[in-house]
Amino acid sequence: MAGRKAITPIIAVILLTMITLAVALSASTFFSKMQSSAQGTTEASASRLMATWGTCAKIVSFKFNPITNQSEAILKNCGFRDISLENENLQLIVKTSEGSCVFKLNSTNCANCVGKIGIGAFTALQINASAIYCASTLADLLHKVVGEKVEVIISDKSASFIIATTFIPENIVNCGLSLNSPPDQNVTGNNPQVACYNYSIQNGGNAIDTYSLYYTKTLAEPTATVNIKQYSNCSGTDISSITVSPGQTKYFGLRVEVPILSSSCGGGGGGYQGAHTWMVGLNAQSTNCAKSAYDDTNTEGYCGPPV
């Protein structure tokens, strides 16, 4: 057709070259971005992998003491990296039939949650269940499920480990009782004489305890009058029991009154004459469990100074 000019071969080559270069440049840019993105993803994944690789933890035991409202979790680091106990790194989930409680360990609810668990090391975390609040305190929740199975799940912030165990909360009462042994006493004279034995009783258990107190007399005649008194030096009212808080000590007195030794030390008849010994045994019995303590006293009486 007249008037139309065809593209010369030279111009066609130039256009094809420019198109090829444009496509190549676009492809290069695209693949460069893809490579950068993939490299970034790979590096991030590798970073996360390095953060979790070699981390391993194991719950050796978990228990709850309803007397003190303390839980103890013994953990072992079975991996190749230290496990941090700080900055709320550990999270616990406690699942019960009455509901669940989710919380993080910190210095408020776990006094020894500091530092790290070294490789291969054990640690016993002391958790204050009264300081952990869910719908109520964790202590209240565990009190409701005494005797039931409870699940505990522990993990860290990076989820490098998630471990679980079960336990059954029990009423744990440990009893401890100690009674001192005051020295024997001598009394003299021809009037009724009184010996006072000052006692201390210590509660070595983990719960408040009431101890029954009673005495035994091994010699019936002549009869001695015996009273257990509220305070030291045999003051206060007569008592038959005493209540002591765990780890505390209380004091009381054992009063032994012996009869007239004689109407006159010269021997005019009437009462008991000469030397005589009154033995009184004191018993203390725990209410919480089958723990008891015993001590005996010997009160020796004379008509006149002892020979």
Per-residue pLDDT tens digits for 78-89: 988 899 988 899
As its CATH architecture, domain 57-167 has Sandwich (2.60)
**Hey, which of 47-56, 59-68, 110-119, 230-239 has the most confident mean pLDDT?**
230-239
Q: Tell which residue, 82, 65, 218, 271, has the closest CA to residue 161.
A: 82
Please tell me the pTM assigned to this model. 0.49
pLDDT tens-digit map of 111-142: 899 899 999 999 999 999 989 998 888 988 88
For the chain, residues classed under CATH 2.60.40.2310 are 177-301
Class of domain 177-301: mainly beta
Distance of CA 217 to the CA centre of its chain: 42
CA distances from residue 105 to 115, 198, 305 in whole angstroms, order as listed:
13, 48, 71
**For tokens 């071969």, what's the residue?**
9
Q: Position 255: which residue type?
A: R
Range of weakest confidence among 95-104, 172-181, 292-301: 172-181
Distance of CA 142 to the CA centre of its chain: 14
For 89: left if phi > 0, alpha if psi spans -120 to 50, otherwise beta; the answer is alpha
pLDDT tens-digit map of 22-41: 666 666 665 565 455 544 44
H/E element, 17: helix 9-52
